[in-house]
Each structure stands twice: as C-alpha cells, then as structure tokens.
A and B are shown apart, each in its own frame.
Chain A
C-alpha cells in the first residue's frame, strides 16, 4: 500500500528500529501503534493481509498483522492485543518508544481479483485487524465492487474494534453487521455467532469472493455454513488467513509449518481449496 522511495533492502532477519509516533487504545486490552520508519524514510511497501515481526530486545518477537498505514508510506499501523509477555510489552509502548520491525512478510488478500464481484468479509475478534486495510481500500474505491458485506463477530460490545471506522465503512456503502457472543440487556445490536449474520446477506455463490479471518474454529464453522449456502456448487472464491507459530517469517525455521506449507511464506492468506485438506488434520 505504501509508495515512495524504498530504503536499501535489509536482511530479512535484521530488524529496523521504528519509533512509536502515536498510540491509540482500541479496547480494554488492545491498542493501535503508529510506527515511523528510521530517519523518516518510507516504510517498505506492503499489501493488505501481510504481517511484520515486531520485537523488543530481551523480551521477544511476534508476528503482528499490518492494520494500516499513511498515504505517504512513512507510517505503519499495528493493532496489538496484550495476551502474552511480548504483546503486553508492545502494547505498553508509548510515543517515542522504539520497536524492532522486520517485514512485511507473507501473502495478501487478492483485492485485484475481487474487482467487479461481490465481496463477503467474515471477521472474528482480532481477525478484523488484517482485514481492516482491505475494508479501507474497498471503501475508498467502492464502485469497483458489487455488494460488499462485513460480518464481524466479537466477544462483547466493549471488545468491538475500530468502532468509528465501522460507521465510516457503512457510510461508504459497505453492509456492516456485528454480532457479539454476550451482552448486557442494554445492548441494542445482535447477540450470537458471526455465521448467524449470513442469513441477512444471502450471498450469491457465483459472483462472490468470501474472505475469512478469525480463530480457526470460527473459520471452520464459517466455511461449513458457506458450503451449506452453495459455496461448493456455485463457484464462490474463498480465502482464509491462517496463523501458526511464526518465528523466522521466511520459511526457514519450520515453526509455522502446516503440511507442505509454511504459513509465514506461503500464507497467511490462502485459497481455501489449497489449504482445506490440512485444516482437517488434527494436531497439525
């Protein structure tokens, strides 16, 4: 997504030192960090769906999806949920702090292929993060696509990410539906699982690209529901974004291997047909 001159190509295992320019709290345990490349240069160009390895000396390094960037390519956004020691330390960074960054890595959502077709996006929890650049891009060039729907499942109303942007995407012509697993009686929205929302969309398999990101169990149930709606019969094009234990991010260490694939290099975004046999194997 970024444009502009690129810095000299760095070794993929050598992190560059980025500075935290801004930090925005999204939810109780999730923040978005805006990072500036060293020396104010343009960050390496990236595509929606890719990830960077973010690290802190003496703490560790983790894969984090790119959640956005500035038009001039100088800033990168990463939305981080504090769930472990590394993500907690990263989420605790303040403006001015430094973070080691390697990337971008991995495959991207096939935005160009979706032009002219309906786009059905299913996101669960933090799975909305790697889809946020997709929705921004689609909202900005809305006329290129047919019906565009975002079905988003979250744990509870207070865990809903990017609330302001959900409203902006709605205004741009994206049908945004949100369901939460649990809610207080004061909640006026949907309660249930993300697949419940499909009843209101009625996707047409022959002209729909469906992209899913979320916990693997959520993706499995979503695929099953799409199959029930005619995915297999109608030629719906389906992509998933997977996660495994990415370490080197260049397909060398084998930590993120799934069957014949390395998620870091061959994925994280896969055509469903390509990855389906391996998703059904336990313990992989």
Chain B
C-alpha cells in the first residue's frame, strides 16, 4: 500500500526529482482520498490539518463572503497542490475547497509531515522550495488577474 503511494507520489509533478527515501517519508504521512462532486476537501476557518496533491478531477477554491455567498477564486486540477495553511500558524484554512467533479487526491497529515520536516532539514528545505514555487505561481496569477489583461488593449485588433 505504501509502495503504491510512493509510486503515485513519484508520478506527481510536485514530487519531481525527489529522492526515493524522501518519497518514502512523504508516503508515511499520505493517504489516498476520493471526493464526489460537491464534497468539501477543506472548509474556511477550519483547522488546517492537511494538504492535497490532486491526481484527477477538479477542485474549486472559494471564499465565503457574508451577503454574497461563496465566491469562486480559482480552480485546481491534476498535477497541482492544494493548501499551504498547514505550514503557517495558526494553521487555519483561509478558503474552502470542494470537488467540482469526482476528484482523486493524495491527502497528507500536516502534523505528521511537520514533525518529519523538523527532523529532516533536507526534506524540509525541499518541501518548502516546492511550496514557495506554488505560492509564487499563485501570486503571479493573482497579479495577472488583478491587471485584467484581457479587458483593455489586445493583440491585432
């Protein structure tokens, strides 16, 4: 079972170039998870105890605004990572995420992983580098969306 998880991890872009021992360490905190359409993976304000590597399906990230209801912020699909609040105190989700279609993911126990990262600084550095890349990409995406690049002057017309 853990071997299967290691194989799945090795095939996920988030874990590209991880060493075999590092994959084994990660697999020790991971479990397969399946979410049917509409089911929440995490809920705004709740304890950020996990993070997810999406293998199949589509996840909607939403922010609940009083008077407006859930606002769709972004979607995440296969090959992407969901959730970083498990790394940042006070470990509370800032958003909600739910499956927009049947979704398969690897779900990680955040507390388990934090303990391992504290003990193994090489693994910790590697994971943090991957999460920084995820955060940088999200920041770039947010800036582009704020610029409304398709809303003004556009190519050849």
Contacts and interface: CB of A to CB of B under 8 A. Distances in A.
Nearest to B154: A126
A88 to B, nearest CB: 11
B144 A218 contact: yes
A51 interface: yes
Interface in B57-90: 58, 60, 62, 69-80
Contact of A65 (B70, B72, B141, B156): B156
A190 B150 contact: no
Interface stretch (A114-122, A153-161, A168-176, A276-284): A153-161
B79 A202 contact: yes
Contacts of B71: 185
B45 interface: no
Contact of A64 (B72, B78, B145, B157): B157
B78 A215 contact: no
Interface in B34-65: 58, 60, 62
Contact of A159 (B79, B150, B156): B150
B3 interface: no
Nearest to B73: A191
B75 to A, nearest CB: 5
A21 interface: no
Contacts of B154: 81, 83, 125-127, 214-215
B156 A200 contact: no
A208 interface: no
Interface in B106-147: 137, 140-141, 144-145, 147
A195 interface: yes
B106 to A, nearest CB: 15
Nearest to A190: B75
Contacts of B149: 124-125, 214-215, 217-218
B79 A185 contact: no
B77 A215 contact: no
B151 A187 contact: no
Contacts of A242: 155
Contact of A199 (B13, B72, B155): B13
A199 B145 contact: no
Contacts, number: 120
A181 B72 contact: no
A81 B154 CA distance: 9
B155 A191 contact: no
A184 interface: yes
A63 B140 CA distance: 30
Given A185-B69, A190-B77, A199-B80, A51 B145 contact: no
Nearest to A179: B75
Given A124-B150, A187-B72, A193-B144, A65 B13 contact: no
- Residue from A79, A197, A200, A225 whose CB has the most chain B CB atoms within 10 Å: A200
A66 B3 CA distance: 54
A134 interface: no
B148 interface: yes
Interface in A145-163: 153-155, 159
Given A215-B149, A217-B144, A221-B140, A200 B155 contact: no
Contacts of A81: 154, 157
Given A129-B157, A155-B150, A200 B77 contact: yes
Given A191-B74, A196-B77, A268-B156, 19 more contacts: A64-B157, A65-B155, A83-B154, A124-B149, A127-B155, A130-B156, A181-B148, A183-B72, A184-B72, A185-B72, A192-B74, A192-B76, A192-B145, A200-B78, A214-B150, A217-B147, A218-B144, A241-B156, A243-B156
10 contacts: A80-B157, A159-B150, A187-B72, A188-B100, A192-B145, A193-B141, A196-B77, A196-B137, A202-B79, A242-B155
